[in-house]
Structure 1
Amino acid sequence: MAASISVLMEELLAGSDALGSLQRLKTGVLSLSPSALSVAATQLNLQPLFELLGSADRAQDGVGEEEDEDGEEEEQVETACAVLECLLGGLDPGKVAAMHLTRLQIGLAHPRNSVRLLALKQIGRIMECSKTTDVLREGSSLLPQVIDCIGAESLGIAKQALQNLVCLTKSKEGFGLIFAPQQLKQLRSVMDTNDAVRYRVYELVVRIASSSPIALGHCTRSGLITQLVGELTGDDVLVRATCAETISGLLESPHGRQFVLQQGVADRVSKLLESALNDPFADLYVAGLVKFFGKLAIADGAQMVCERFPVFLRTVLDTATNHEASCQAVALDTLSVLGRSLEGKLVLHKEGDRFLRVLRVMGKIAVEAPTEQRIRCLDAMASLLHLSEEEQNEDVLVMTESWFSILSDEPMIMLWRISTQPFSDLHCTALRVFMAISDQPWAQRHMANTPGFPEYLTDRSVEPDKFAKELKFELVSILTASRTASNILGAVTYQRLRLYMQEGPYYVQPVTQVAIEGSE
């Protein structure tokens, strides 16, 4: 097969139909096994493919990517990129560096984003390999070129450059290269491009710092983390909010959370959230601040976060009832996070009427809001109402039943109607709410006392797709495994549920056809 690729390459060199030859070559390369691809990539001369990408000099002339380019030439470059990506992927990073690094560096200055992205991806493979970091030593222009790509207009280019630099810091040698004085100077220079690029560099630093305590130490000594934290006290409230959202990346690691708490970062974000309560433009940034404390609550527990930063919970509850849709969606997601643990449920329960008002609003959202908002609301309901078997005691069961009853005058009917709608996403999310409560005795009593609902549980015709059938089967599984279901639902319903379990989620009732022959 590798031999046939050589024939196709010769056809490309000899023929006048470059695009047609490239397309045939692409088909051939994609059909190769990994071993054959490696052989072909090693034996072939890839220089002609790089030449088909065109000259990078046009970038220096200020010619735009789409100017003076016809459709065929554009397709030719895209196809050549696809072939090169496949062939270079068949080589280990060391061979890519040894054989093609110079051409890839030229590609970083190409006017076409597809070529720059190809070059960045392959250079990323080189950076990730600790054996090839010698090509990035001081004096090489490669690392500064990659850093410059952070400031690219194309977000795809910038993200790939960030990913490359993160990969580089996976090795000790890589850390030394990134945080060398020359590279730090370059990073600071790129940051001056504009606010968006400055925060791309901050994102890079946070991602590196989150990887290990040693990495956090490097980032702190560089001064960039300190500079990021300092932006929390700037004059522009939107910049401060963006800063808080960027810093929240540190909360995903234990050492990062310790830094955020010890350095007073969380206290500064709390004050920013406090001031947002009286800001008419708070809807523009409050969601990012709520996400910050939501991440902190996931890691350190709802009780600690809500007690230490009471403005967080107050804002979540107010936003869930009073703000515009995007902020309300974040509040619903945060309630879902807080409600996952019994600790979080009890924290919400202590809020009394403030939280009960939120439940009433959630009942309306589940019925009246746009679909995406309804789904988030139903997910939050499932999280708030679910209890593990170990968490179920008399007081907690009374609490979840009271929450359920506040959602609507007839909450079981409300959810049942949603679960029978033809829209799969809504249908399945409502099933998840039933699953969340189905092993609680009070919920089983609601099911038994709602006319038609026991029959719905075993009605296979209402599930529109495979995923819904599997969820329905899981709901029935939870009910049949419950110690109280048999007594509460009754023997007849319980036996039907057991039969449903035995038949499996995809069972189809056989239809017996009886032919009746008659005479004229």
Structure 2
Amino acid sequence: MASNFELLRSTVSNLSIDDSNRTRLLSDLKLAVGSLSSAEQKLAIRSLELENIFDCLNSSETEQIVLTCEVLSQLLSALEPSFVFRKYEEALRRALGHPAPRVKQLVLKELQRAADNSSFVEQLSLQEAILLSVVACVCHEDMSVASSAVAVLISLGASPVGLNILYAAPMVQALRAAMAQQDVIRFRVYEVVAEVAGHSDAGLQAAHDSGLLPALTAELNNSDILLQMNALELVTKLALFENGLQYLQQHGIVTALANKVTAINEDPLASLTLPGLIKFFGNVAQLWPKEMSAEYPNVVTALFETFDSPDLVLLGVAMETVGYIGTSVEGKYMLDSLGDMMNKTMKKLGNKITNLPTEWKVRALNTVANLLELKVADQDTLSLAITKSWFEQLASNPMDLVVSVCRQPFTELRLAGLQVLRVLAEQQWGQENINSTPGLIEFLLDRGMESNKICKDSKFEVVKTLAESPTGATTFGNVMLLRLQEFIREGPFYVQAQSEVAIEGAL
């Protein structure tokens, strides 16, 4: 191992005195480092002076820059971020200003490592020059560089120490200067603001006090409809967090968006924002279903009206949103309180499963699965009655509809149908439907009928759910339950051995 260390040291040393052979030396160094174990790398690299390698970035030759980045990535990843930034702060700062995106990415990767580790954030927060350079990278035309810079700032803002530096005066000034350059850069900054605001109450308060969060919500009234849509997408992310949604309510933004939904027909261009508005209120309803129904009934009505829209994109969003609301028991209760509106919607879903193109059939089936999903711990008389009632509204014979989908030649359709069967298998009324459907148990237990691995796994999950259900014995009887349990023990890909009988005189 000593000879390997000496080879590393001599190679690194030669980089500073042998300019003409730098590419070869870097290649040798890359191989030498790669031959060391992780423990050996840590021992060897701490004793190396990496400035000579960083200096190799000062080149116009692409091959040399690429090799230098590869070698530095190997070496730096073996070191603790605290050591890297303590010893190579200036080299990293210069590298972050390098014109090549690959070099910027190298440094941003190290910054991400530091920002993701709370024990190093305090040290990172002292690197103001580097962090200001990260803000400059947010403005970069290379999307990979800009996205990495945004990710570093979001991670930085996730800790109290990092949050303080993110919203310190120099950083906010730099962020505002970046926002003034282009719309696309402004919204990259807004992405940082929205993500950090959702992480904590302190992050939300800092975003508000800086004026950046109010600036984002003001974009919802931008005269440019596309910018409105971008702002709505970020505000929707914020609404995924309870503190974010409370902020939006307190500042009248939820009410303003509800008014946009009800006034959508007054402006033809405004209809472009409807899918985004539906997603937003889907998040509101998922968190606070009762309040959503009580405070914004017009929005709920508008959501269900979109099930009649000829716009398949809008229809897809509406289906997914209703399914998302229905993933919680409280959401199911809210939807059930709509009475006939929900019954009609289930009939429409059944019709769409039959008549829409494959992609939307799958989305309709996924919606049905979300609406009917009811874990054992959430099952009671009322919730079971709701899911059973909804299923019965799908079609005149809903089991025939689902089973026919499970026999389709299209993998994605079969998977969606099997997902519905798995949801049915969790509930006793669903098990009874499965048990009384002619040939369905045999279909599920026949491994030979399915050649696709993913579908085999999915069928196995249906049988597993039936076999492990606390109501399985009551529904199927002990003999069938033992058969289901044996199937589970054998696994999804079991092949029964074929016995051969020798016949005297056979050739």
**TM-score, scaled relative to structure 1:** 0.85
Determine the C-alpha separation between the residues in 2 that align with 1:183 and 1:484: 60
Determine the C-alpha separation between the residues in 1 that align with 2:359 and 2:301: 24
**2:353 aligned to which of 352, 359, 366:** 366
Shift of 1:2: 7.4
Letter of the 2:362 counterpart: I
Determine the C-alpha separation between the residues in 2 that align with 1:406 and 1:335: 16
SS in 2 for 1:210: helix
Shift of 1:322: 0.7
- CA deviations on 1:204-257 (whole Å, 9 max, x unpaired) are 122222222222222222111222222333333433332232123333333323
Determine the C-alpha separation between the residues in 1 that align with 2:40 and 2:359: 47
Determine the C-alpha separation between the residues in 2 that align with 1:485 and 1:332: 31
Kindly tell me: are residues 15 and 414 of structure 1, through their superposed partners in 2, closer, same or farther at Cα, counting changes over 3 Å?
A: farther
Residue 98 of structure 2 contacts residue 104 of structure 2 at CA under 8 Å; is this kept in 1?
A: yes
13-22 vs 148-157, greater mean Cα deviation: 13-22
Shift of 1:29: 2.9
Determine the C-alpha separation between the residues in 2 that align with 1:413 and 1:462: 18
**1:101 aligned to which of 78, 89, 102:** 89
Residue 228 of structure 2 contacts residue 273 of structure 2 at CA under 8 Å; is this kept in 1?
A: no
> 1:420 and 2:407 equivalent?
yes
Residue 424 of structure 1 contacts residue 464 of structure 1 at CA under 8 Å; is this kept in 2?
A: no
**2:49 aligned to which of 19, 32, 45:** 45
SS in 2 for 1:347: helix
Partner of 1:436: 423
SS in 1 for 2:263: helix
Determine the C-alpha separation between the residues in 2 that align with 1:2 and 1:239: 60
SS in 2 for 1:115: helix
Residue 319 of structure 2 contacts residue 367 of structure 2 at CA under 8 Å; is this kept in 1?
A: yes
Kindly tell me: are residues 221 and 22 of structure 1, through their superposed partners in 2, closer, same or farther at Cα, counting changes over 3 Å?
A: same
Residue 373 of structure 2 contacts residue 423 of structure 2 at CA under 8 Å; is this kept in 1?
A: yes
Determine the C-alpha separation between the residues in 1 that align with 2:179 and 2:147: 15
Kindly tell me: are residues 97 and 512 of structure 1, through their superposed partners in 2, closer, same or farther at Cα, counting changes over 3 Å?
A: same
Residue 283 of structure 1 contacts residue 323 of structure 1 at CA under 8 Å; is this kept in 2?
A: no
Kindly tell me: are residues 415 and 27 of structure 1, through their superposed partners in 2, closer, same or farther at Cα, counting changes over 3 Å?
A: farther
- CA deviations on 1:459-504 (whole Å, 9 max, x unpaired) are 1223435544443333223334456655655676445324324434
Residue 244 of structure 1 contacts residue 269 of structure 1 at CA under 8 Å; is this kept in 2?
A: no
Partner of 2:153: 165
Determine the C-alpha separation between the residues in 2 that align with 1:468 and 1:431: 8
What is the correspondence of 1:465-484 to structure 2 with a 5 Å cutoff?
465-482=452-469
> 1:29 and 2:29 equivalent?
no
SS in 2 for 1:346: helix
Shift of 1:191: 0.4
Letter of the 2:176 counterpart: R
Kindly tell me: are residues 349 and 277 of structure 1, through their superposed partners in 2, closer, same or farther at Cα, counting changes over 3 Å?
A: farther
- CA deviations on 1:354-396 (whole Å, 9 max, x unpaired) are 4344333423443454544333322211111233446656665
What is the correspondence of 1:291-302 to structure 2 with a 5 Å cutoff?
291-300=279-288, 302=289
Determine the C-alpha separation between the residues in 2 that align with 1:216 and 1:399: 38
> 1:339 and 2:326 equivalent?
yes
Letter of the 2:56 counterpart: L
Partner of 2:335: 348
Residue 9 of structure 1 contacts residue 25 of structure 1 at CA under 8 Å; is this kept in 2?
A: no
**1:312 aligned to which of 299, 311, 330:** 299
Kindly tell me: are residues 142 and 479 of structure 1, through their superposed partners in 2, closer, same or farther at Cα, counting changes over 3 Å?
A: closer
Determine the C-alpha separation between the residues in 2 that align with 1:144 and 1:21: 34
Residue correspondences, number? 500
Determine the C-alpha separation between the residues in 2 that align with 1:41 and 1:449: 69
Letter of the 1:108 counterpart: L
Partner of 2:264: 276
> 1:130 and 2:99 equivalent?
no
What is the correspondence of 1:447-458 to structure 2 with a 5 Å cutoff?
447-458=434-445
Residue 241 of structure 1 contacts residue 286 of structure 1 at CA under 8 Å; is this kept in 2?
A: no
Residue 320 of structure 1 contacts residue 358 of structure 1 at CA under 8 Å; is this kept in 2?
A: yes
Shift of 1:6: 5.2
Residue 286 of structure 2 contacts residue 328 of structure 2 at CA under 8 Å; is this kept in 1?
A: no
- CA deviations on 1:275-311 (whole Å, 9 max, x unpaired) are 22444345532222222222223333x2222322223
- CA deviations on 1:160-183 (whole Å, 9 max, x unpaired) are 212222333345443343323232
Kindly tell me: are residues 502 and 106 of structure 1, through their superposed partners in 2, closer, same or farther at Cα, counting changes over 3 Å?
A: closer
Residue 276 of structure 1 contacts residue 286 of structure 1 at CA under 8 Å; is this kept in 2?
A: yes
SS in 2 for 1:43: coil
Residue 40 of structure 1 contacts residue 87 of structure 1 at CA under 8 Å; is this kept in 2?
A: no
Kindly tell me: are residues 343 and 40 of structure 1, through their superposed partners in 2, closer, same or farther at Cα, counting changes over 3 Å?
A: same
Determine the C-alpha separation between the residues in 2 that align with 1:370 and 1:27: 53
Where do 5+ consecutive residues of structure 1 fail to align? 59-72
Partner of 1:70: none
Partner of 1:66: none
- CA deviations on 1:102-158 (whole Å, 9 max, x unpaired) are 222222222221111112222344556234246425xxx323221111111122212
What is the correspondence of 1:56-455 to structure 2 with a 5 Å cutoff?
73-126=61-114, 129-133=120-124, 135-137=126-128, 141-282=129-270, 284-300=272-288, 302-389=289-376, 397=384, 399-421=386-408, 423-455=410-442
Residue 5 of structure 1 contacts residue 29 of structure 1 at CA under 8 Å; is this kept in 2?
A: no
Shift of 1:511: 1.3
Letter of the 1:47 counterpart: E
Kindly tell me: are residues 134 and 41 of structure 1, through their superposed partners in 2, closer, same or farther at Cα, counting changes over 3 Å?
A: same
Partner of 2:499: 512
Shift of 1:3: 4.5
Letter of the 1:380 counterpart: T
Determine the C-alpha separation between the residues in 2 that align with 1:406 and 1:220: 47
Determine the C-alpha separation between the residues in 2 that align with 1:145 and 1:411: 60
Determine the C-alpha separation between the residues in 2 that align with 1:442 and 1:159: 49
SS in 1 for 2:46: helix
Determine the C-alpha separation between the residues in 2 that align with 1:168 and 1:398: 48
> 1:4 and 2:4 equivalent?
yes
Determine the C-alpha separation between the residues in 2 that align with 1:439 and 1:170: 39
**1:497 aligned to which of 452, 462, 484:** 484
- The root-mean-square deviation of aligned C-alpha atoms, in Å, is 3.2
Identity fraction in percent: 32
Shift of 1:88: 0.8
